[in-house]
Amino acid sequence: MNSFTREKLEKRIGLLVLPLIGGAIVVALWAVASSTVATSLPSPSRTWEASRLYVMEPFEKRGELDQGILRFTWYSLTRVAKGYVIAILLGTPLGFLLGMSNFFRASFDPIVQILRPVSPLAWLPLGFVLFHKPEPAGTFTIAMCSMWPTVLNTALGVRSVPQDYLNVAKVLKLSKLKTLVKVMVPAAMPYMFTGFRLSLGIAWLVIVAAEMLTGAPGVGGFLWQEYNSLIYEHIILCILTIGIVGFVLDRMMGLVEKRLRTG
């Protein structure tokens, strides 16, 4: 075996082993912290004991707020999906308008910049006022918070469509619509997907806040309920679940994005 492939192999092993080592170190620190400085923090083993049922029977439904962790995750995901789809359906055309028209950009860019940093905690009450029910208020909040990366990245993508491509369209005298569909959208697609990926990340971030405040069943609702019932182990279970699901979602979008860039 030559040194090149050996190096490669070692790198592979490193990629698998090093994260495990990192994880082990964090768990060890957690264990030490929970027995010394932060005694109210459940230890890793207690967390596992308390969470076992929820993890081993992930789809079980024992009661409204006593269900398997993946079942809760599923509820949260469907809720996220609704708000996210609305965000994309609104955000993409808005991004195109911002990217294509200087007039539109001058008029609305400041508003976008002002609305963008508004916290979900601020949108939710407005959602209640508008829709009177928690479920649509949550969807509204997710949409309002997660829309902006799609808007801004789409606008950026539209603005960075190379002039050369537009010249091709001009020489062929493509109509405005055809130029949009056949040149601008495909050229801006990689940027749009970056926006979609970031938006999904935010939508997932917001779901916890939305569920906590609305008390809807889901990972966030479960987390809040267990906090109120003083079962702190489950808070950690929920945090880990939220993190892992968010990571997987991001990776999945990242794969699609990469294919768009290279393909």
- Separation CA 104–CA 95 (nearest Å): 10
Tell me the window of 36-44, 62-70, 102-110, 169-177 that interacts with another protein (CB under 8 A): 169-177
Task: Provide the minimum distance between the beta carbon of 106 and another protein in the complex, in angstroms, as a whole number.
Answer: 23
Tell me the window of 149-157, 175-183, 194-202, 203-211 that interacts with another protein (CB under 8 A): 175-183
Q: Is 82 in the site for another protein (CB under 8 A)?
A: no
Got the DSSP string for 182-236? IIIHHHHHHHHHHHHHHHHHHHHHHHHHHHHHHT-SSHHHHHHHHHHTT-HHHHH
Task: Provide the minimum distance between the beta carbon of 122 and another protein in the complex, in angstroms, as a whole number.
Answer: 40
Task: Provide the minimum distance between the beta carbon of 188 and another protein in the complex, in angstroms, as a whole number.
Answer: 11
Residues 182-201 touching another protein, rule: CB under 8 A, are 182-183, 186-187, 189
Q: Is 176 in the site for another protein (CB under 8 A)?
A: no
> Using the rule CB under 8 A, which residue among 5, 63, 173, 177 binds another protein?
173
Which residues, other chains included, contact 169 with Cβ-Cβ below 8 Å and sequence gap of 6+?
178, 179, 182, 183
| Helix residue ranges per DSSP H, 101-133 | 102-115, 120-131
User: Angle at the Cα of 38 (from 47 to 35), degrees rounded to 5?
Assistant: 65
Q: Is 180 in the site for another protein (CB under 8 A)?
A: no
> Using the rule CB under 8 A, which residue among 39, 45, 107, 167 binds another protein?
167
